[in-house]
Amino acid sequence: MSTLPQLASPPPEVAMAQMLMGQWVANCISGLARLGIPDVVESEPKSAEEIAREIGADAGAVYRLMRATAAVGVLTESADGKFSQTPLSAVLRSNAHPTLRHFATFLTQEWHMRGWGRIEDGIRTGKTVMEGIYGMPIFEYFAKNPDMGANFNDAMTSASSMQANCVADVYDFSQLRSIVDVAGGVGLLLATILNRNAHLSGTLYEVTHVLDAARNGPLAPLADRCQFIAGNMFESVPPGSDAYIMKYIIHDWPDDVCVKILKSCRAGVNEGGKLLVVDNVVPVGNDFAQGKIIDIEMLLFPGGKERTEAQFKDLLAASGWRLARIIPTESGLSIVEGVPA
């Protein structure tokens, strides 16, 4: 009885080349999402020629793109040359729940690609790169380029569709009666929490133009238990709540800005209330963690950072809170729970 030979680990130069090609893999997946190919093969397997006709593209190029993504499990090619959906490609469908189509397309937006191209500048200076490219911070860029801003917001909502259930799965909201989602976008996280906890009332706190969209979003069926308040989180938050929750907000900003936001939450929270910061918590050591990579995104674009447990402890202490516990979720994010100090 023969056995297949065991392949040795690749030499360092080969392993490094494979890692560097990861950017190309992500770009191919982004292209697949942009073209809407996962939607086209949702009902049945199709050939490159059939798909090309439906999306108005070159059949040879479509085949080559799908062959490339199938090599990493995003689509699969059968012996007859037709491509079928896989669990990985299925989450790129526009009607998937959750869908990561918008997140995939955001990765190859021009501003994003150009920003990562300035990584050397960002590391040398320790500053964001958007000012050097476009002459303005990232959120000002989005305000002046609403199409780019809308795509970014859709991408964040896509990510939230994956993360919201994970947060609601692991945190016990039964002791709370009210919660404010600070800068909560169109309200997907808050809607998920309210749907799971019929006793809770909620407040979505956002800037005016985001609230206009949010009123017709996931919170619309919960209007009897939710209010929409417009404001500036850098100045104040609505007072009188049992909890304040922020997902992927604190990591956008440097410590001094975060302290202002968290102090406002501390001033507004009811006695015995909670602070819930949903972010990456960067572990010590050399093991892979998504937060270690996303941290560079934060450095290059908004100017924030992903934080370790010790950094969260210090940040909360400077804001009148005490770090009570850190609760991991299946999404890779954690819930950093603070209580009044």
**Residue located via tokens 């320790």:** 126
112, 300 Cβ separation under 8 angstroms:
no
- Asked if the peptide bond before residue 98 counts as cis, ω within 30 degrees of 0, the response is yes
User: CB-side exposure of 305: number of CA atoms within 13 Å?
Assistant: 13
For residue 201, what is the enclosing H or E element?
strand 201-206
Strand partners, 82: 47
Of 97, 102, 199, 251, the active-site residue reads: 251
**Residue located via tokens 């191209």:** 117
| Sign of the alpha-carbon torsion through 268, 273, 278, 279 | positive
For residue 251, indicate whether it is catalytic: yes
The burial of 92, by beta-carbon neighbours within 10 Å (0-12 exposed, 13-18 middle, 19 or more buried), is given as: buried
70, 77 Cβ separation under 8 angstroms:
yes
What is the rounded distance in angstroms from the CA atom of residue 197 to the CA atom of residue 191?
10
| Sign of the alpha-carbon torsion through 157, 163, 167, 169 | positive
User: CB-side exposure of 318: number of CA atoms within 13 Å?
Assistant: 13
What is the rounded distance in angstroms from the CA atom of residue 219 to the CA atom of residue 217?
6
What is the rounded distance in angstroms from the CA atom of residue 123 to the CA atom of residue 120?
5
List the catalytic residues: 251
